[in-house]
Amino acid sequence: MSIPKEPRQLMINIMYLVLTALLALNVSAEIFNAFKLVNKGLVESNKALDLANSKMPESIERRAKAKPEFQKYADRAKLPGTYEKEFTEYVNGIVNDLIDKSGNKNGSVDDGDYIVHGDKKDLKGKKNKDVTTRTMVNEGKGQELKGKIEEYRQKFLALVDTADRAKMESEISLAIDDETWRHSKNKKSWEEFTFKQMPLGACEPIFTKFINDAKASSNSVLNYLSGKLGGEDVVLDKFTVISSPKKNYIIKGEPFETSISLAASTSKNTSTKVSLSVNGSSIPVNADGEALWKTVPGDVGVKKYSAVATVTNPVTGKTDTYKRDFEFEVGERSCNVSAEKMNVFYIGVDNPVSISAAGVPSAQLQVNATGGGINLSKVGGAKYNATVNTQGEATITLAGGGLTATAFKFRVKRIPDPVPMLSGKRGGAIGNGEIKAQSGVIPMLEGFDFDARCQIQGYTVVRVAPRQDAEIAQNGGGKFEGGATNLINKAKPGDRYLFENIKARCPGDAAARNIGDMSFKVQ
């Protein structure tokens, strides 16, 4: 990632790194809201860049008339905006495609792709990971996007004189970080590292960041071309206040810090005769025209603050005041442990568990499990696997990273009794040929989501033919053998068959359990 010198763009990159860190956490509703706030901040920054970039080509064209040799720079000044527009349309096309595929899938983005909450609306597919993974990774759209980023980076650099390109490399924000993903354990490419299993709501600010990089790159090139014309004669005649927070989502008790500055339409800031204040309190301005404001909220929720900048307008000579309102959200550290299949742990099978702790770095999260003979092992990310061997109760406790120790209790039970079946039936009428075609009694775990198989240990077969004495045979195992086979082969219409004292053994059982009887009448 290139490191821009311009403070506003540097702060945007810091916000992007915070977003990347949030993606490592289990994605809760609070974090989705943080993604939304980050995206909102980037969109506002893009508007400021659009305003700055829109004025410069005309200024360069006017000033280039001073000398014939300046015309080549005026000609180049027409291209950054074209490149930025083409790249923005390309990225927006990807975003719209993902929104539609995770929404109502009608081929266009409309109200059907959103969920409305009062006067607000959210993406219907904001938690959808499959669409982003399939489109960006499996179908190659991510690789294509990477190529576009590299292509337009070279286009921007081509507008710079050959002798100046080396020093302008770091000024072009549109770039691929092709090193970080290579150090990850399970990611095979930049697109897999960036998009695989990332929900759409988390990817939206990533795409907005790419657009921001293109606009910032256009701004850097225009500033370079303007500088090649000699003395600057563009005045600062339009202003706005910018707040660049380190985080838009903080935990209660943490300090909220943001950099307040005055931005001009030419993207050139100044601290000359500039005063800044937040909520009526003045804050000192540094040489870059920025002021750091810090506050520690005492409770959770959305917090609003007003920033005011007072500046002497170089055009009119009078003092003007500019005000904007901003907001950030304060949350609390929270955690959750959930069994993915049932809210109970079963003996003899693997019990998948999801563990999340919003606001707690994964490296600081402490996970402890006790009771029920539990053994908890990490599978990857927020996924764990629990095995137990004793009925009763198991407890998983989370702590660390500022989180108060929190216990989650689970019942520990043995696998429920399987249901004995013959030809898919638990009893009743059965055909003469049907019963003879069966190989034995099968135990079925109905409504049990785990991968477990029980085994029949044995049962008693009783044949009661009309006006005859009952015939009895003992059978070991589920499959008919010996005497049981002989009795089954004698089946005739009117016969009754009883399967009594059926015993089965399931994973985790120390001994066989009685699972009931069955009764059939042959027709």
Mean pLDDT computed over 430-442: 96
The parent domain of residue 50 ranges over 1-233
Is 88's pLDDT higher than 90? yes
Mean pLDDT computed over 283-290: 78
pLDDT band at 126 (very low <50, low <70, confident <90, very high): confident
With a pLDDT cut of 70, the percent of the chain lying above it is 84
Mean pLDDT computed over 476-495: 96
Is 269's pLDDT higher than 50? no
Of the three residues 233, 268, 285, the one that is the final residue of a domain is 233
> Is the same domain home to 462 and 494?
yes
In terms of Cα–Cα distance, which of 212, 271, 288, 248 is closest to 52? 212
DSSP letters spanning 192-257? HHHHTT--HHHHHHHHHHHHHHHHHHHHHHHHHHHHTTSS-------EEEEEEES-SEEETTSPEE
Give the predicted TM-score (pTM) of the model.
0.44
Alpha helices, H only, 65-195: 71-76, 79-101, 130-132, 141-158, 165-168, 190-195
> Is the same domain home to 12 and 112?
yes
Residue 17 has what pLDDT? 54
> Is the same domain home to 313 and 225?
no
Q: How far is CA 8 from the centre of its chain?
A: 26
For residue 519, what are the CA distances in angstroms to 144, 382, 496, 502?
A: 65, 48, 7, 12
> Is the same domain home to 187 and 323?
no
pLDDT band at 14 (very low <50, low <70, confident <90, very high): low
> Is the same domain home to 103 and 241?
no
Is 503's pLDDT higher than 70? yes
Is 324's pLDDT higher than 50? yes
Report which listed range, 26-40, 190-204, 238-252, 499-513, is most confident: 499-513
Residue 235 has what pLDDT? 47
Mean pLDDT computed over 82-110: 93
Is 38's pLDDT higher than 80? no
**339-390: pLDDT as tens digits:** 876 789 999 999 999 998 877 777 788 999 999 999 999 998 889 999 999 9
In terms of Cα–Cα distance, which of 144, 133, 142, 149 is closest to 190? 142
> Is the same domain home to 18 and 141?
yes
- CATH code for the domain in which residue 260 is found: 2.60.40.10
Bridge partners of 189? Answer: none
Say how far apart CA 99 and CA 97 lie, in whole Å. Answer: 5
Find out whether 285 and 241 touch, Cβ atoms under 8 Å: no
Residue 315 has what pLDDT? 45
For residue 58, what are the CA distances in angstroms to 26, 81, 191?
A: 48, 12, 38
Residue 31 has what pLDDT? 63
